[in-house]
Amino acid sequence: MRSYLIICLLALLAISIPCHSQFRKYSNEFLNVGAGARGLAMGSAQIASTKDETAGYWNPAGLTGIKDHPSVGLMHAEYFSGIAKYDYLSAGIPIQDNRRALGISLMRFAVDEIPNTLNLVEPDGSINYDNIKTFTVADWALLLSFAQNIRTTETSNLSFGINAKIIYRKIGSFATAWGFGLDAGLQYHGKRSHFGIVARDITTTFNAWSFKFTDQEKEVLYLTKNDIPVKSTELTAPRVIIGGGYDFRLGNSVSLMAELNADVTFDGKRNTVLSGNTISVDPHIGLEANIKDVFFIRAGISNFQKAIKDGDTTNQKKVWIYQPAVGAGFKLKNVMIDYAFTNLANQSNPLYTHVFSLRLNIAGKKETE
């Protein structure tokens, strides 16, 4: 089993090292927002511990944690004072006596009712506000997941999972893009310890853009010295996320789970804790206190960056900034309600938002009673 695990880890790492010059550093960033209030409250440190329907997003191998009956979840969040809306829906289904699992996740990140001012000015130079129309910019992603147990004992479990991603992006009537990619992951659960690794975009996820403008819109773009795009392809470079966690027993009814994740990218220097010419490492730290498996209190820190200290206009001294998050959860039989208070930016330029998510285990009537 140890040799098999080593081979799997080496395979995941090998297929995830790209030639960084071929890819855009920031692509399909809406896929990095997160999924579920639990994960967001823990600073996105989920690779090792996730074992519900949100595992389809964080680490598909964790879907094997869904036992006996299907589980569904949904989340809604609004950013920038409600300008941007993020919706997430997921489901996990155990099969073959809980040895395998299927998952499906659907995400939408969108900004609605954006004014289109291309036709604001009439040919005679007059301004006609009636010509202003609105459009929507929306990013969609569909994840189809499969997970399987590799080795299971009384005190441990090793599983493997894979995602097939379908991406659809739309900018009003002007542009659309289709993208495809694959993720793969491993997850290990011991008596108290957890370990996980995910290789995202292992096939170098791509978006193929196509554009459509009317003759009038093309004329406006030409006169205002804007480029008129025809077609383009956007590649998302692979990345590896490694995580480990541990459960601390604080009493008969209270436990504390701590998890540390490291987001490893291979597309050049980034503003992260460890930054090299080729490889950069961005850590995530999360904590979850479990009280009688009913109440949960969570906190997390992520997105460490160096920035100029606020108010320091003379020395231009750089300090470490980070993105904090807190949250809570409540479980009643087959229903789980989670809440997160997160910051989309960092503590020096906060963009706080409230996130709620709901998880439901679809049990049979007899089991529910």
How buried is 148 (Cβ within 10 angstroms: 0-12 exposed, 13-18 middle, 19+ buried)?
A: middle
Residue 309 in tokens: 């200290």
The CA distance from 322 to 306, in Å, is: 9
pLDDT of residue 131: 79
The CA distance from 185 to 196, in Å, is: 7
CB neighbourhood size of 223 (10 A): 9
The CA distance from 297 to 259, in Å, is: 14
pLDDT of residue 2: 46
CA dihedral of residues 20, 26, 27, 31 (deg, nearest 10): 120
Residues 206-262: tens digit of each pLDDT: 888 888 888 877 877 887 777 777 788 888 888 999 999 999 998 888 999 999 999
Task: Say if residue 71's pLDDT is above 80.
Answer: yes
Q: Tell me which of 47-51, 100-104, 216-220, 356-360 is least confident.
A: 216-220
Q: Tell me which of 120-129, 133-142, 253-262 is least confident.
A: 120-129
Report the predicted TM-score, pTM, of the whole model to 2 decimal places.
0.83
pLDDT of residue 150: 93
Element (H, E) at 22: none
Contact 107, 87 (CB under 8 A): yes
Q: Under DSSP, is residue 64 helix (H, G, I), strand (E, B) or coil?
A: helix
Residues 304-328: tens digit of each pLDDT: 888 776 655 566 677 788 888 999 9
Q: Please state which CATH number belongs to domain 2-368.
A: 2.40.160.40
Task: Say if residue 366's pLDDT is above 50.
Answer: no
Q: Which among 165, 163, 201, 141 is positioned nearest to 62, based on CA atoms?
A: 163
The CA distance from 158 to 152, in Å, is: 6
Residues 165-181: tens digit of each pLDDT: 999 999 888 889 999 99
Kindly list the domain boundaries of the chain, sorted by start residue. Answer: 2-368
Q: Which among 241, 167, 302, 274 is positioned nearest to 16, based on CA atoms?
A: 241
pLDDT of residue 368: 43
- E-strand ranges in 213-279 read 231-235, 239-249, 254-265, 274-275
Q: Please, which residues bridge with residue 124 across strands?
A: none
Q: Which among 104, 102, 86 is positioned nearest to 36, based on CA atoms?
A: 86
How buried is 37 (Cβ within 10 angstroms: 0-12 exposed, 13-18 middle, 19+ buried)?
A: buried
Q: What is the mean pLDDT of the chain?
A: 84
Task: Say if residue 350's pLDDT is above 70.
Answer: no
Q: Specify the higher pLDDT residue, 102 or 7.
A: 102
- At residue 236's C-alpha, the angle toward residues 44 and 185, to 5°, is 50
Task: Say if residue 91's pLDDT is above 90.
Answer: yes
The CA distance from 194 to 188, in Å, is: 6
Q: Which among 97, 67, 100, 101 is positioned nearest to 361, based on CA atoms?
A: 67
